[in-house]
Structure 1
Amino acid sequence: MFKKKPQIKNLSPLRSSDRRKLADQIISDYKVHIPTLQEIDTTISSEEAQAVASSNNPTPALASTRTSLVPETCLSARFSTHAGPNATLVSGTVYVGAHPGQEERILWIQYGKDAKLYPTVYTLWHNPGLVPLLHTPDFVIEKLQTGADLMTPGLVGGPPWPEAAKTGAVVAVAGLERPSVPVWVGTCKIDISSLGRVQGTKGAAVEGVHWDGDEIWNWSSTGSGGRAAPERIEDWELEFKGAEERLAGLDLDEDEDAQEEGGVALEPATVKQNGNTPIDGSIEGEEEAPEREPTTAEVDDAFRDAFLYAVYDAKKNGEPPHYGIDFPIQPSFLIANMVQPHLRFQNQHYTIKKTSWKNTKKFIKYLDKAVLVKSKDRNGGETVILDIDFEDDKIRNFTPYRLPKPKPQPGNGANGDSKLAVNGGGDPSVGQKLSIQTVYRASSKLVPDLIPSKTTFYTASQVSAFLKKYIENSPELTTGTSSPRFVKLNPFIANNILSSHLSGGDSRIMAAGEMARDALLKRVLDDSHLCLPHWVLLRNDQSYDSENPDPTLKPKAGPPPQVNVVLEKRSGTKTATKISGLETFGVNPHTLGPELQKKCAGSASVGQHVGGKPGMLEILVQGDQRDVVEKELGRRGVDRRWIVFEDKTRKKKK
């Protein structure tokens, strides 16, 4: 829900009475068990326990639970944001507090007409067992964190399922890599507790509300960003037993019926079924990713070898001095186009965050220190590669290894349609061929003498053919001209074409009494008072026929469409890339956003386009991602000519 940054108003402290009421509401709603005195101390008599209960003073257990759920320094504030596929405006309240030894975080969310309070991951990390805990493979977690819902086939660990996971209940979701750490919060759309075997079923099981990595997680009072999840939470481990056994018994059917629009794909490229071969089948002779999680050193080696492989390959196939590599190399381009395609293994374990460098900037610094590249820090904290030492021994003596075969795109391979995908399938815009054709509608000044109809749209070649035919049917236009390329002016040309928008050049033409044929055609097409230009977007093998026009291809007036890519500063120094105007070209921002997040190795959000028409969306990606955006749009048929770049990060010249 919180992919787009919410607008949070001024925080105000909660009164003690309101804090206690809020905590008691949470205890009631989530059926939190408060131990009695006799449960804590069995030596206390029932009379003493009843006497304490009848007093107005809370028991130590109740006071401790209240403080854990709603800290004493809790603040509240109203917020608003745009959420959902239609970017609907949502408003509500956030409750901010600090657990001992930590900074303030958003702990609870309340929005819409529902009075229900939703815990954030920060609250769950300090209150094990507060909500039912579900589990799913880690590659599904990555897709859930792009805003997708958890589909029923993605559930792992049952039956039996948690008894409290009923329709409308708030649940937490953890991955199998860290089964005791909730990283996603949602509400049950179905009664999960009554489910049996989930593989082969279809439909969404849990609708996402908040997750580790969204804007609520990222908020902090100091602007330091989100806090990383712990590696394990001891008390949550009681909610999950036998993770390895459950994973071994995981049965993920590749059934096209086991999907529903808006859900998460199950693409278990490396998950094994019953400990045997991968579910989607191994490629014969292909080096298979290890079952165990690699060490940090092994991931470091994989990233370094991938960079060497990319440079070695460029040197082998390119021409000196730069072998086809354009400098400077942006961090996003380095990861998306050089490192990731050349990694030995393609799975969730091999990401920049799993390396010892943790981010691309430090990785570039490492390559610089190894004298493999020359780097430079730019304004705004971005580090780019200015040059590569192509003669380094590590590159010249590099031994290539077998690369994993790329996964077939859904719908493009033999079994592509049977793959489950995020948001109801693969990106249909990938591989499409687009072209923009300009057509013209003639004004009444040219009809019927030159052009037959003023309601039909004609191409430039058709208008040229009409003009040629008009000249052929009027022999006096070509008699006695200074050149065969010229035609004489007759009353129709002089009054209807030239006099429509007379300029200084036209006055000279009128005085000469003749003009070139190509100049006459150019004048007809360029003057919007004579021919009003329209554009038609053609996909794949489509063509526009003015005689028998396709009703789905309706020409639109005005300049041709374009994708706007804007670079701007966010939070003072950080650079961000905004992309808008995608819908016209058949590109779904909700599908492209997660793809850019993966390619750019940074966060990406989709929200209402500021200043655009209602329903028009824009993608916001961290960093200068122009190269990646241009490449991804090119894969979707958007020509470079239709992309307009605007850099607002540069200082204006005085």
Structure 2
Amino acid sequence: MFSKSFRVKSNTAIKGSDRRKLRTDVAAAFPALSSEQLSELVPNREELNVVKLYAHKGDAVTVYANNRNPVLFELEKTLYPTVYTLWSYPDLLPAFSTWPPVLQRLAGGADLMLPGVMVPSCGLPQVQQGTLCAITLVGNRAPVAVGVATMSTAEMLAARMKGKGFTVLHAYTDHLWGFGDKSYPPTIAPLVVEPAELESTDDDDKDEEERQPDSDLCIAPSLQMDIGNLSLQEGDGCARLMEEEEPGETGAAEMAEDIAEVQPETEDGRTPQERMDELLHQCFFHALKCKVKKSELPLLTSTFLRNYMFSCCPEGQQLDIKKSSYKKLSKFLQYMQQQKIIQVKELNKGVESIVHIDWKHSDIKSFVVPEVVSAVSTAPESKCGDGEQLYHAPEIIPLYGVSTKMAPLFQESGHKKGSILSSSDVRNIIISYVKSNELVDETNKNFVKVNPILCDCLLDKWEQDEISKLKWDDLLSRCLEQLQPYHQVTFFGHEPIVRKGNLDPIDITIAQRSSNKKVTIIKNLELYGLDPQLVANTLQQRVQASATINTLPGAKDRVQVQIQGNQINHLAKLLLEEYQLHRKYIQGLEKAPKLSRKK
């Protein structure tokens, strides 16, 4: 959940009443805490902050921070402890152990698979499906992740420890951990020391470390190391432990392969990341040298990756930027811009395009297209022209901004004019306001009494003397109508973008031209990360009609696609079925011609 950066909406000191409520909720959620521990976790006098934030997928999360460190986070009215809290109370949750190389995968957003869970001689903790659990590393009881069990302990054993075991919500080194003081996990000795570990600490039996494991469930010798080595100091302990693994240890190699997809160095001595960097550069320069034409600029960066770089990838290989050292296309293109090979600009907010290419640059001129790639690149363009299948529809979330008129209603919850909220946030704030001010009608709980603040914020002048009660649905809908519209758009591989106003739909219109001919005009494709030139080319090939790109009147950096005839049926199939866009974001599909019935 916190593998990518989040957006902080507000950060305020907690109120006295909210502090007492939080203490009650924590005591109910974690009954194992004593009264002293509860007072330490939610202190009476120390400053405790409430941080409202949006995760990268749009989830609204409330974080409680004590002395800068996040100690708890709340998601959908459920409280979860952070790793900072679990380091102070390691026995707060049932704990399952995994191997050190898995940690970097968990911090990157991966869930924990059952092959990665170490089964101790005393057995696994008994949990049920949905139980909140801690995840530790072998040899250290300090938790490094928080997750929810996807099945009970009995089901795990019945499945022979295969499949997904835990949905990971938060892990050491993720962005929530980075929100605190970024301290390292302490070293906490295990309660029960495994026999294998006892043998490894015996000075007279050092040769035991070189023995092969007797079964799949015992600890691989390459992972039997001192507890101090598991403290992950300097933040790169995971990488250091991976380097210390011996390739000859079959138990550790198989375990890492099943759990974390840890890849050893290749035969030529390079890591998979270095090989992916080389492939990325090869596809980039091949696309610039042989694919992109000057007339096609400006070119959306997403289109450049999808339809040009992917088509230059050698057969049998797969280009995956996430496995490179750049991690994101934007960072890779930024590096190439620093080398003065290309120039990238944000022509539309949140949508970047390549606007200039220096074909005379020495790196492009000196690049030699590999022979294997040359054979592949001569394949028909239609084969890679299906690149639109790789298009990912953006995730669109409506948001609401607190206006001047509505500020008094949201002031009690700590929100001011300009605060941006999701619909669920607005709903929860209104419900909390009604209950705290005892506005629910005693005779009929479906109605809410209108107090002066609700009257000023939600009612028109001619209604203020006539309406004294509102239904819940009417109350919430009026509230959303009075708030300022915003929306959040998340394009694949990019950070979320928040814009003011409603998102304009893709607009499809039919216009009449000379000789009574009809043309189909499509606007606003760029707002959804679609390349107008690609859409025009695709339609032109499918309907065998001419298509042109024209500047959108009144918008300097926007264009519209124009194609001969009424092509709405073909366009609907392209946008709805292939690009997987929701119908509510497309305007004008009702103007499609009716298909004649075959007799």
Q: TM-score, normalised to structure 2's length?
A: 0.40
Structure 1 or 2: larger helix share? 2
Q: TM-score, normalised to structure 1's length?
A: 0.38
